[in-house]
Amino acid sequence: MAGPAELLSGLAVPAVLVAPDGRLSLANIAAETFLNASQQALAERGWAAAFGRNRDIEGLVRRARSEGGGCAAYDMALVFPAGRSVRADVLVAPVGDAPGWLTVAIQTRSVATMVDRQVQQQGAARSAVGVAAMLAHEIKNPLSGIRGAAQLLATGADADGRELTDLIVAEVDRIAKLVDRMESFTDTRPLRLRPENIHEVLGHVRRLAQQGFGAGIAIRERYDPSLPMVAANRDSLVQVFLNLLKNAVEAVETDGDVVISTAFRAGLKVRPEGGGAPVSLPIEVRIIDSGPGIHADLGDHIFEPFVTSKRGGSGLGLALVAKIVADHGGVVEYERAGEPERTIFRVLLPVAGT
């Protein structure tokens, strides 16, 4: 296998390399510090040196092997031999050019912080929507003109032209419905959710992007085809991912790339606003771009209204994203990660029927 040391040393998070026979073959410096065990001790005593009698991560590794791919557990309780315990996300992934070898990466996470962030996003976004509602009348007037012009163009268009004009009309109607919702934001009734195929929603968003703001930009898809249906309001989710994809495209300009990925992430649960039983959020959608990211000073505030790093930006887009995702019972997060570093917006949503 080529360069396992280089593979791990570039990771800022604790990570270990697991051999085909299950041995802990290699650990990076971050892992030695996090596990409070040297690489030699891990190699000699294996999982017991790191976690004592706790075998949860071993079980995750066995699952990854049996399924032939990667898997993850969010908010896993890790207990160490000395009694220290933390909660963390654990991600197991195969090493592409080395069959049988796996990497195990550990990212500490405070679920309480995530819950607090979700509640903050809901409150901040609602205030943003109040401002957006005042603009609704000014938005709807030009929309009717755009719709009429598209219908007029369709009368003399060929098949390809009619496809584009139909797309324009459909999008105008969708936006008009969203504006109607803004105008009645004193209505506190929940969104009407129904089972939706998240990949159909994302495919629609991608087509819209490539016909407009994303023309000429490489937008790649990495989908988990086995995902169950998501509990969603389709038009609202289209608005969420259009906003995130537009931000990504604007960040990379013409010399970068954008990735839309989906995955099933078992383990993460969030308690809804107002109490109640924790809700599982296993459906993960990530919008990843190779742009420079958001200024570090704004990273913890980007879902608040009027916070923006764009020249001339309103600072309402991500606040609305947070509001809509929260209305779905989900969570949206921002981070800079990877090597090279990339911008990641992660949306976590519940499965339909849960």
CATH for the stretch 4-109: 3.30.450.20
State the pLDDT at residue 19: 85
Q: Where are the domains of the chain?
A: 4-109, 113-349
- The CA–CA distances, whole Å, from 100 to 87, 96, 170 equal 27, 9, 48
Res 268 pLDDT > 70: no
Judge if 4-109 and 113-349 fold alike in CATH terms.
no
CATH class of domain segment(s) 113-349: alpha beta
pLDDT of the residue at 111: 45
* pLDDT winner (highest mean) among 39-43, 177-181, 211-215, 229-233: 229-233
pTM more than 0.85: no
- For residues 149-159, average pLDDT: 82
